[in-house]
């Protein structure tokens, strides 16, 4: 089957969004709206794989929705909704629990990181998390998935699940009229640009993350201008001047990270940043980087705050998005169930 190009991605409604989310995911999502049919999902079912305070979860779902809208995600053009409103995600995830193999999930590095030493005490949901992610994507037969570098392994698993489903049910899929036996596409990761992996401002070898204890390690989308400037001023660097060419960034993770952030914010290549700043000290470069950051993130934070003043309007956006999402996912799930051999309900 020739699959139409369709974009799907998801973000967790936990903690605050940071510059890594903005550059690694948000900017690309917003850009793809210009060229593709896009479906964007606040993955609240994924969020509860670790315990969430109910009031805090409700607030985070709205806050993440507001941040994406403030950054330019247009809920009229794209579909924006929260996962738990569309039951096809959970249903298809169960089916995929029965397609994916234990051995595949045992290789997932994110589970190992998140479960840590106390593995026995991790939820079963945290372990099966990648199967739900595959269901998110394949419930829409999405072909392109913009994510940061850390999601690559999960995307490979989604491809393996799609392929195994197609193989396991090949005859039934063909009998349903798919002559080439392909019911699910192989979704492709879209991991491009100068900032697919934004690193901590305190340690260029660690990923910028919401779980890092030091707030100085990341720029939050809710930080005010002073906080942004201070964090960049205090960012770890080395004593050398900036190199003139990208080769000169090798072995200098902090310099590489700051140059990558500048490039991504300015929408240019790292080499262009270095042709402007090569030979100059960090004391010159950091204020320019702070100005750029403040100019881009400041208005987004203001707009997100404004949207949060009207939670009913955010909820309305999510309900409308879920209605539109269901219209795509339900028929695909219905066909998948028939292919497996379930008897369909009349509705
Ligand atoms: P999460 O906050 O883990 O739900 O991630 C949401 C999106 O942001 C995913 O597409 C991640 O790959 C991306 N992301 C998270 N942290 C970073 C980072 N430090 N650099 C680049 N992308 C990131
Ligand atoms: N696991 C992703 C993350 O932590 C979020 C996610 C859930 C997702 N479902 C998805 C991303 C489907 C892309 C497609 O960032």
Contact 61, 42 (CB under 8 A): yes
Which pLDDT belongs to residue 211?
A: 84
Range with lowest mean pLDDT among 22-36, 38-52, 75-89, 159-173: 22-36
Residue 347: pLDDT band by 50, 70, 90 thresholds?
A: low
Q: What's the gap in Å between 155 CA and the centre of ligand 2?
A: 9
User: Which ligand is closest to the CA of 155, given by its number?
Assistant: 2
Closest atom of ligand 2 relative to the 136 alpha carbon = 12
Closest atom of ligand 1 relative to the 17 alpha carbon = 2
Q: Which residues line ligand 1 (CB under 6 A)?
A: 11-12, 20-21, 24-25, 147-148, 150-151, 196-198, 207-208
Whole-model pTM: value is: 0.92
Closest atom of ligand 2 relative to the 25 alpha carbon = 15
Which pLDDT belongs to residue 186?
A: 97
User: Which ligand is closest to the CA of 152, given by its number?
Assistant: 1
Q: What's the gap in Å between 42 CA and the centre of ligand 1?
A: 13
Residue 105 burial (C-beta neighbours within 10 Å; 0-12, 13-18, 19+): middle
Contact 278, 245 (CB under 8 A): yes
Q: Which CATH superfamily is domain 215-306 in?
A: Tyrosyl-Transfer RNA Synthetase (1.10.240.10)
Comma-separated ranges of CATH 1.10.240.10 domains in the chain: 215-306
- Report the pLDDT averaged over residues 86-92: 98
Residue 210: pLDDT band by 50, 70, 90 thresholds?
A: confident
Residue 41: pLDDT band by 50, 70, 90 thresholds?
A: very high
Q: What's the gap in Å between 23 CA and the centre of ligand 1?
A: 9
Which pLDDT belongs to residue 199?
A: 96
Residue 222: pLDDT band by 50, 70, 90 thresholds?
A: confident
Residue 300: pLDDT band by 50, 70, 90 thresholds?
A: very high
Digit-coded pLDDT (tens) for 107-144: 999 999 999 999 999 999 999 999 999 999 999 999 99
Digit-coded pLDDT (tens) for 247-274: 999 999 999 999 999 999 999 999 999 9
C-alpha angle with apex 80: 76 to 81, nearest 5 degrees? Answer: 135
SS3 39: strand
- Report the pLDDT averaged over residues 16-28: 90
Q: Which CATH number fits domain 6-196+311-340: 3.90.700.10, 3.10.129.10, 3.40.50.620, 3.40.1080.10?
A: 3.40.50.620
Q: What's the gap in Å between 75 CA and the centre of ligand 1?
A: 21
Residue 15: pLDDT band by 50, 70, 90 thresholds?
A: low
Comma-separated ranges of CATH 3.40.50.620 domains in the chain: 6-196+311-340
Which pLDDT belongs to residue 193?
A: 79
Residue 321 burial (C-beta neighbours within 10 Å; 0-12, 13-18, 19+): buried
Contact 183, 336 (CB under 8 A): yes
Closest atom of ligand 2 relative to the 46 alpha carbon = 7
Nearest of 185, 162, 143 to residue 32 by alpha carbon: 143
Whether the predicted pLDDT of 194 surpasses 90? no
Supply the residues annotated as catalytic. 114, 207, 210
pLDDT over 90 for what percent of the chain? 91
User: Which ligand is closest to the CA of 149, given by its number?
Assistant: 1
Which pLDDT belongs to residue 1?
A: 66
Q: Which residues line ligand 2 (CB under 6 A)?
A: 8-12, 43, 46, 133, 136-137, 145, 147, 151, 154
Which of 26, 57, 150, 200 has most ligand 1 atoms within 8 Å of CB, for mutation? 150
- Report the pLDDT averaged over residues 90-97: 98
Q: What's the gap in Å between 262 CA and the centre of ligand 2?
A: 25
- Report the pLDDT averaged over residues 34-45: 97
């Amino acid at each position: 089957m020739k699959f139409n190009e369709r974009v799907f991605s998801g973000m967790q409604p936990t903690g605050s969004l940071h510059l890594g989310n903005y550059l690694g995911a948000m900017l690309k999502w917003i850009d793809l709206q210009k060229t593709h049919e896009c479906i964007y999902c606040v993955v609240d079912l994924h969020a509860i794989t670790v315990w969430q305070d109910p009031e805090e979860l409700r607030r985070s779902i709205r806050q993440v929705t507001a941040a994406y809208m403030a950054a330019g995600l247009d809920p009229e053009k794209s579909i924006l909704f929260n996962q738990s409103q569309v039951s096809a995600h959970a249903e298809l995830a169960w089916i995929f629990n029965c397609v994916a193999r234990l051995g595949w999930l045992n290789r997932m590095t994110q589970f190992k990181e998140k479960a840590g030493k106390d593995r026995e005490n991790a939820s079963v949901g945290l372990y099966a998390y990648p199967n739900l992610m595959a269901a998110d994507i394949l419930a829409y037969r999405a072909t392109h998935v913009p994510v940061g570098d850390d999601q690559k392994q999960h995307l490979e698993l989604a491809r393996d699940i799609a392929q195994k489903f197609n193989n396991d049910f090949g005859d039934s899929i063909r009998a349903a009229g798919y002559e080439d036996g392909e019911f699910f596409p192989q979704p492709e990761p879209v991991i491009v640009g100068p900032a697919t992996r934004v690193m901590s401002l305190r340690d260029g070898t660690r990923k910028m993350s919401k779980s890092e204890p030091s707030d100085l390690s990341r720029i939050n989308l809710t930080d005010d201008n002073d906080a942004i400037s201070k964090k960049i001023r205090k960012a770890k660097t080395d004593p050398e001047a900036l190199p003139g060419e990208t080769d000169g960034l090798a072995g200098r993770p902090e310099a590489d990270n700051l140059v990558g952030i500048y490039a991504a914010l300015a929408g240019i290549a790292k080499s262009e940043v270095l042709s402007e700043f090569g030979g100059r000290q960090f004391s010159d470069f950091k204020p320019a980087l702070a100005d750029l950051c403040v100019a881009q993130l400041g208005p987004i934070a203001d707009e997100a705050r404004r949207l949060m003043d009207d939670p009913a309007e955010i909820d309305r956006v999510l309900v409308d998005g879920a209605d539109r999402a269901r219209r795509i996912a339900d028929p695909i799930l219905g066909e998948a169930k028939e292919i497996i051999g379930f008897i369909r309900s009349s509705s």
